[in-house]
Amino acid sequence: MNKTVLITGATSGIGKATAQILAKNNYNIIICGRRGDRLEELQKKLSSFANVHCLQFDIRNKESVFEKINSLPESFSKIDILINNAGNAHGLDPIQEGNIDDWEAMIDINIKGLLYVSKAIIPKMIAQKSGHIINIGSTAAKQVYPNGNVYCATKHAVDAINKSMKMDLNPYGIRVGAIHPGLVETEFSQVRFKGDNEKAANVYKGFTPLKAEDIADIIHFVISRPYHVNISDLVVMCTAQGSATIIQRD
């Protein structure tokens, strides 16, 4: 039977590319995000390959997260794989100039949202005695960089949650692992710089960054290993990136 995967943040970037590759590899897909038009468009595009269900919710709204996940149609209600991908950065400011609304958005989306979705799905995985959770961290989960303060803190939290979640779910035979990408050219920097596309494009200038498809391909590899194999912590950077702060540009 085809496995069912729930992907948060599937309207763009890594999540969307993952939905595309998994649909072509015969997974049933639940695609999540706030932008309903994009969810519908993606569903239309992928429905010739796979069964696709759209779940539109803001991950910050815990009532909505639980209501949507608990009312999935029967054919999508057994979730085999959860990809905790939704997340973003808001701003890149020194701590003394940081905007409190930006801080709260990152904490609410990257940490609390990931926890709400996990809390809604983990009991189902425990009951079915199987499951796989992939948490998307970042190189910012492993290192900090100037002005990265709160974004790095939220991703360090994802790293900690991932490691602890793996221990807690180990007795139930549930696989848990994180993938930590370096620079990937998606809408990430457009969101970080609040629609300043020039500033966003400059982040990736003069080198070849990762593409969303590179990470999607790795997610597919990780979830398609035999069930006794759990890839628990994977850092992936483009060749030009030496660390969170070292990049070789032309």
Residue 118 or 138 with smaller CB distance to ligand NDP: 138
Give the C-alpha separation, 37 to 232, whole Å. Answer: 34
- What's 12-77 look like in SS3? CHHHHHHHHHHHHCCCEEEEEECCHHHHHHHHHHHCCCCCEEEEECCCCCHHHHHHHHHCCCHHHC
Q: Is 120 in the site for ligand 8X3 (CB under 6 A)?
A: no
Give the C-alpha separation, 109 to 112, whole Å. Answer: 6
> If DSSP codes are grouped into helix, strand and coil, which group holds residue 80?
coil
Question: Which window, 110-118, 120-128, 133-141, 229-237, contacts ligand 8X3 (CB under 6 A)?
Answer: 133-141
Amino acid of residue 90: H
Residue 105 or 122 with smaller CB distance to ligand NDP: 105
Of the residues 27, 116, 151, 204, which is catalytic? Answer: 151
At how many degrees (to 10) do helices 36-46 and 13-24 cross? 20
227 is catalytic: no
- Which member of 19, 69, 140, 238 binds ligand 8X3 (CB under 6 A)? 140
Residue 76 or 188 with smaller CB distance to ligand NDP: 188
Q: Is 135 in the site for ligand 8X3 (CB under 6 A)?
A: no
Give the C-alpha separation, 232 to 169, whole Å. Answer: 13
Q: Beta strands 174-181 and 131-136: pairing type?
A: parallel
Which tokens belong to 37? 């038009």
Q: Which residue is nearest to ligand NDP (CB)?
A: 13
Interface mask (CB under 6 A) for ligand 8X3, residues 226-245, using x and -? ------------------x-
Q: How far is the CB of 122 from ligand 8X3 (least distance, A)?
A: 25
Amino acid of residue 88: N
Positions in the binding site for ligand NDP (CB under 6 A): 9-15, 33-35, 58-60, 85-88, 109, 136, 138, 181, 183-184, 186-188, 191, 212
Interface mask (CB under 6 A) for ligand 8X3, residues 171-200, using x and -? ------------x----x------------
Applying CB under 6 A, the residues found at the interface with ligand 8X3 are: 138-140, 183, 188, 244
- Cite the active site residues: 151
